[in-house]
Structure 1
Amino acid sequence: TGFSLGAADGKQQTGHSLILTGGGSTYPSFGSDGSGYKLASSLGHRIIKPVPSTVPLVVKDPLCHLLQGQRIIARAQSRIQGKIGNPVDGELLFTKYGLSGSLILDISQEISLAINRLNIKDVSLETDLIPFMEQKQLETELTNRHKMGLTPEDMLTGILPGKLCLAFKQLFEKENPSKAAAKLKNWRFEVSGTRGWNEAEFTAGGIDTKEVDPQTLESKLVKGLYLAGEVLDVNGKRGGYNLGFAWASGYVAGLS
């Protein structure tokens, strides 16, 4: 028993062991096109549907197009069918298609899984646009500014960048300072989708790890077949953890 590999140029390579480490589906232009999943599937392995992870979000909100290119520090949490996720802090970048930035990349996996794997439509972000002020403190500040007779476009001067002050002008024309503060501390963005594989940093999904020996990374289904890297359904946080796993798992698989 063993393996025989045929290259495009006609060359053949045989061996008793094989390491499958073809990567995920992100950045297909670099060759990571998901073909590793097809090979694993042809050998009997179950593939958990791969979806883009650490990826910008598509959001239908006039603010996004109006503020494209603007960055702020914010806090957000996912809301998936009414279930609230853990809050995440970071940089929020408004784009013409929706939202990006470190905050969005860090919160995107659970949202991508819901939308792209589970086909859930009720997905949104509850966003604190002024996380450095408590709601009561913000409410008091806005109330004082209102009493001073500041114009709607000047109500957020010194709190948010000028572009956002103009964007929220209408908010202060329609709402009193108390309601305006509440909305700014919990602005909801409806998420309609994610960007694609060319913009995702990682892949969530892959070969079911229940079918792999965790000590050696040998397949439990095919003797001599070892599996490593992003082809496996192992997801790390942003910050080098996925690369670290790819290198470490390749080393472990190679030991055998």
Structure 2
Amino acid sequence: MPAILGKKIIVVGGGAAGLMAALAAANNGAQVKVLERMNRVGKKILATGNGRCNFTNISSNIERYYHGKNPRFVYGALNKFNVQQTMEYFEYLGIAAKVEEGGKVYPMSDQSSSVLDVLRYQLEKLHVTTVTDAEVENIHVSEGEFIVDTKEKGRFISQRLILATGGKSYPNLGSNGSGYQLAKNLGHRLVEPFPALVQVKLAEKFYKQIKGIKFVGDLEVVVNEKTIIKATGEILFTEYGISGPPVLAVSRKVNEMLRSNKKVYLKPVILKQFTPGQLEQMLLYRFQTQPQKTLAFSFVGLINKQLAPVLLKEAGIKDINKPAGDVTASEIKQIVSILQDWRLKATGTKGWNSAQVTAGGVDVQDVNPKTMESKLVPGLFFAGELLDIDGDCGGFNLQWAWSSGYVAGENAAVL
């Protein structure tokens, strides 16, 4: 279908999804304005990947978005604008890419600003107007047009509207959840948002003693004595609980279970490379070889020495400074259990200021997955994190932003 030249489109939100939507619409002949409530577009892009911007992941597939009420919704956009097309598009814009561990794709420059710079250059090239400090207060539809009122920049009118305001994560970077009310005012339903890819708070009182301690191991989420999700990597104890990539990976499920009033336990497996029997024999050898050492000191060289006193007390051993040679067989089994089957009670997660992604959002059953157009309001399109779609950690959420933004922008221009 040929593009309708001159169609006026407003994109609300100047993040990754909004900028891609604007570019796709402008590339199909539309006149595009981006309304961004912050003083510049793309602030959240600059913060991704620890300032390096892992802008996609070569392993993007539906399994990486298997969250929310209807994860199959991602098929439409991911098939229309997939990872390969995304990488080719950014290469065209000037981003030389490199693939790192876990399939993460970064700009060769290792600067997230590179991604934003080329996007802004292309916006200017395609004559897209960006209006910053433009916080949208109200949107209504009249005679087939969208009337958008802002706090300080007045009123804007368009034939098509793309909502790409993001979720609630990192509100200081632009996404404060304001898009949810705009969507509700236009008749859309919400799946209640909650933080995802976020640190987990734990109930025990000893975390200040071990904050800063890291180890590489497995982390399992246990509900009703059943492991429901597992991740591996570097785990970090903090004064409020636990952090690190495996924690972020399982945090959505933790929050989901807690919100369902389930008792949730995190199970860090500290020495995962041994079977319980092997670990028992190794500890016995250590204790018998150097029986005069204190029990706590006998762990030096095996685990972080600051962690040993806490683990021993958790194992139910009252005198952690008794001679290692005096440890009983049953006490060794208790220590092995803590090293490989430690149960830590989750009480919640950190809030929106710490969350990388928002779970929940605009219910996708009211959105066409092939076009991103509302089924309730003709001419209204959605893109990005505002929708009830969220992916795993590692570039998958930015890929969703690019894919959904591209599909929304293209269809807003040509339908």
The TM-score by the shorter chain falls in which range?
over 0.9
Change (3 A) 1:63 1:140: farther
Matches within 5 A, 1:118-137: 118=260, 120-137=261-278
Read off the aligned partner of 1:16 and give its amino acid letter.
Answer: Q
Please state whether the residue corresponding to 2:370 is helix, strand or coil.
Answer: coil
Which deviates further from its counterpart, 99-108 or 159-168? 159-168
CA contact 1:142–1:155 (8 Å) conserved in 2? no
CA distance in 2, matches of 1:157, 1:147: 15
Find the residue that maps to 2:277 and give its secondary structure.
helix
Larger radius of gyration: 2
Return 164-173 or 144-153, whichever deviates more: 164-173
Counterparts of 2:405 and 2:354, CA distance in 1: 25
Q: What is the CA-CA distance between 1:81 and the residue it aligns to?
A: 4.1
Q: Which of 251, 264, 268 in structure 2 is aligned with 1:108?
A: 251
Note if 1:145 corresponds to 2:300.
Answer: no
- Once residues 217 and 210 of structure 2 are traced to their aligned partners in structure 1, the CA distance between those partners, rounded to angstroms, is 15
Cα distance, 1:86 vs structure 2? 2.5
Aligned twin of 2:367: 212
The code of the aligned residue for 2:404 comes to S
Deviates more, 1:220-229 or 1:160-169: 160-169
Q: 1:190 aligns with which of 328, 332, 345?
A: 345
Selected match of 2:386 from 204, 209, 231: 231
Partner AA of 2:373 in structure 1: E
Deviation at 1:154, TM superposition (A): 2.7
In the alignment, which of 284, 299, 311 is matched to residue 168 of structure 1? 311
The TM-score, its normalising length taken from structure 1, stands at 0.93
Letter of the structure 2 residue corresponding to residue 129 of structure 1: I
Q: Displacement, 1:69?
A: 0.9
**Partner residue in 2 for 1:242:** 397
**Greater Cα offset, 153-162 or 133-142:** 153-162
**Superimposed CA distance per residue, residues 188-209 of structure 1 (whole angstroms, 9 cap, x where no aligned partner):** 0000111100011100000111
Q: Where does residue 240 of structure 2 map in the other structure?
A: 97
1:3 equivalent to 2:115? Answer: no
1:133 counterpart letter in structure 2: F
Question: In the alignment, which residue of structure 2 is the partner of 1:22?
Answer: 165
Q: Is the 8 A contact 1:106 1:238 kept in 2?
A: yes
For 1:169 and 1:211, how far apart are their aligned partners in 2? 54
Kept after mapping to 2: 8 A contact 1:124/1:190: yes
1:83/1:48 Cα in 2 relative to 1: closer, same or farther (>3 Å)?
Answer: farther
The partner residue of 1:49 within 192, 195, 208 is 192
2:333 corresponds in structure 1 to 178
- For residue 246 of structure 1, report the CA deviation from its aligned partner: 0.7
Indicate conservation of the 8 Å contact 1:211/1:221, yes or no. yes
Pairwise CA distance, 1:10 = 4.8
1:87 matched residue in structure 2: 230
Question: How many Å separate the matches in 1 of 2:152 and 2:316?
Answer: 68
Q: CA deviation at 1:183?
A: 2.0
Whole-angstrom distance in 2 between the partners of 1:82 and 1:43:
44
**Number of residue pairs the alignment of both structures matches:** 254
Quote the Cα distance in structure 1 between the aligned partners of 2:341 and 2:388: 34
1:249, distance to aligned residue in structure 2 (A):
0.9
Partner of 1:66 in structure 2? 209
> Aligned equivalents of 1:62 and 1:134: distance in 2?
29
Q: Which runs of 5+ in 2 are unaligned?
A: 1-143, 319-329
Q: Distance in 1 between matches of 2:408 and 2:372?
A: 6
User: For the Cα contact (< 8 Å) 2:197–2:393, is it kept in 1?
Assistant: yes
TM-superposed deviation, 1:172: 7.7
Give the superposed CA RMSD: 1.7
Matching residue's letter, 2:195? P
